[in-house]
Chains A and B, each alone.
Chain A
């Protein structure tokens, strides 16, 4: 457990330093989890306290990318919420491929590659990987390098494999790895993601890619306060095409947001929303 705790005033000071130095605005991130991330960053980088973090941020531009990598928690599982992936595979993905030329799918998870790998595997299984274009967002260059390396921490295999089986995948989880699944990091087949376009985001998703048929934005808004949730979901709403889909985490919701009236609920358990026509 963390031996160091940062106060609210210090947290505000870090946020101001980042805004002044780099123009990234974390002011409307959810305070409790953001504070915890700062504490983690301070400890893992051997910084003494918030002042040490502020000094490092001001004096070392290269460090800011590492900060961006660590400021959002990673998604730690592939195929999290297996019923959703079944639904995507059996229903939503075939539909969007049928109804439009080469539909654009956007992965809004800026923290790690698990959502992307899961999507590509599902698409591969229904033979549609080359029939869609995938855009994946990232905050930190280090994160995108890690995603492209296709390395999976071996400690994650058990959970990933169990989830994959609950999706009733048609192959075996292990079939998607180019190397063995020994003790070292195992590597997912790189060709699964070779056609993915990576798009840089800022902290508040000022610029998501346009003309989206399916947006996967699961467990990202939980790190925002309600003001930022509202703003970001509305920006995403604007780039989703009529009839397109938005997927949130199962404990997130469009209810009480301004984007809500633009969507109908397609599947409430998996938080799949469909944008109304016109």
Chain B
């Protein structure tokens, strides 16, 4: 039984994130951690845009917020989002990683350390290599790794970098990602 799902995405990932969020059962049994590249100075609007069609509540967490199942946690603008022991969010303003804050690598690494083999990590369309090392750590800790099929990505760099670094469990189309999540822990 998995304990959490973490998704990283950048350029070209918005539509598939919306598709995932609108397809999950309302009683989705896990927390969904979202680390998506976004404009640093635009603090509001993103949660609202993602919420319109989402079946589960989307939260831009405060520091040390308790992580609960059936909710999506979106990394806030201009902060890194770590997963802390005790199943809490921890935020950081430390320097950008891969030119990114939030950095997908950092969210994935810290989630892998906490949830270990009970984590599902998914990398979607994006324009830089952020997330590739993080997905490798998910794999190293025994978690399940999924990458969106680069041929179906608007921008392939992120998924191709992830595939180069890790022998992943699944290369999925958006429809297959949705189906996987709908059946998770059932």
Alpha-carbon distance between A33 and B97 when the two chains are bound, in angstroms: 14
Contacts of A81 in B (CB 8 A): 43
With both beta carbons as reference points, the residue of chain B lying nearest to A40 in the complex is identified as B94
Residues of A within 8 A of B91 (CB): 222, 251
Number of A-B contacts (CB under 8 A): 66
Tally A residues with Cβ within 8 Å of B. 30
A73 to B76, CA, bound (A): 18
Tell me which of B78, B90, B94 contacts A73 (CB under 8 A). B94
B63 pairs with A73, CB closer than 8 A: no
Closest CB-CB distance, A54 to chain B, in whole Å? Answer: 22
Binding stretch for chain A, among B26-34, B48-56, B80-88? B80-88
**A74-B95 in contact (CB<8A):** yes
Known: A162-B41, A251-B79. A30 touches B84 (CB 8 A): yes
Q: Digitize A215-229: 1 where CB-to-B-CB distance is under 8 Å, 0 elsewhere.
A: 000010111011001
- 26-45 of chain A: CB within 8 A of chain B: 30-33, 36-37
Which residue of chain B has the shortest Cβ distance to A248 in the bound complex? B63
A201 within 8 Å of B by Cβ? Answer: no
A252 touches B90 (CB 8 A): no
B-chain residues with CB within 8 Å of residue A37 when the two chains form the complex: 94
- Cβ-defined contact, B78 with A80, below 8 A: yes
Nearest CB of chain A from residue B111's CB, rounded to whole Å: 10
Question: Does B41 lie within 8 Å of A222, measured CB to CB?
Answer: no
Say yes or no for B164: interface residue by CB 8 A criterion. Answer: no
Whether, in the assembled complex, A166 has its beta carbon less than 8 Å from a beta carbon of chain B, the answer is: yes
Residues in A whose Cβ lies below 8 Å from that of B90: 30, 32-33, 222
Closest B residue by C-beta to A111:
B93
Whether B110 is near chain A, meaning CB under 8 Å from some CB there, is yes
Q: Which residues does chain A contribute within 8 Å of B60, judged by CB atoms?
A: 251
Whether the pair B41, A1 counts as a contact (CB closer than 8 A) is no
CA separation between A1 and B96, bound complex, in Å?
Answer: 11
Q: Pick the residue among B63, B76, B95, B133 that contacts A76 (CB under 8 A).
A: B95
Are B92 and A166 within 8 A (Cβ)? no
**In the bound complex, CA of A251 to CA of B79 (Å):** 9
Q: Mark A70-85, 1 if CB is under 8 A from B, else 0.
A: 0001111000111000
B interface majority secondary structure: loop
Q: How many residues of B contact A (CB 8 A)?
A: 27
Name B32-68 residues within 8 Å CB distance of A: 40-41, 43, 60-64
Instruction: Report the separation of the CA atoms of residues A183 and B61 in the bound assembly, to the nearest whole angstrom.
Output: 38
Also in contact, A222 and B93, with CB within 8 A (given A32-B110, A253-B62): yes
CB–CB A31/B105 < 8 A:
no
| A222 touching B63 in the complex, CB below 8 Å, given contacts A32-B90, A76-B93 | yes
* Residues A159 and B40 in contact, CB atoms below 8 Å apart: yes
* A252 contacts B62, C-beta separation under 8 Å: yes
* A19 interfacial contact with B, CB 8 Å: no
Q: Are A251 and B61 CB-contacts (below 8 A) given A1-B97, A223-B92?
A: yes
Q: Tell whether, in the assembled complex, residue B63 and residue A250 are in contact, meaning their CB atoms are under 8 Å apart.
A: no
A226–B64 Cα distance when bound, in Å, is: 7
Q: Which of A194-240 contact B (CB under 8 A)?
A: 219, 221-223, 225-226, 229
Residues on A with beta carbons closer than 8 Å to the beta carbon of B83: 32
Could you say which residues of chain B place their CB within 8 Å of the CB of A140? none
Query: What are the nearest 3 A-B pairs in CB distance?
Result: A73-B94, A32-B82, A1-B133
Pick 18 A–B contacts, CB within 8 A, sort by A: A30-B84, A32-B83, A32-B90, A33-B92, A37-B94, A73-B92, A73-B93, A73-B94, A74-B95, A76-B96, A81-B43, A162-B41, A222-B90, A222-B91, A225-B64, A249-B63, A249-B93, A251-B91
Chain A residues engaging chain B, CB cutoff 8 angstroms = 1, 30-33, 36-37, 73-76, 80-82, 159, 162-163, 166, 219, 221-223, 225-226, 229, 249-253
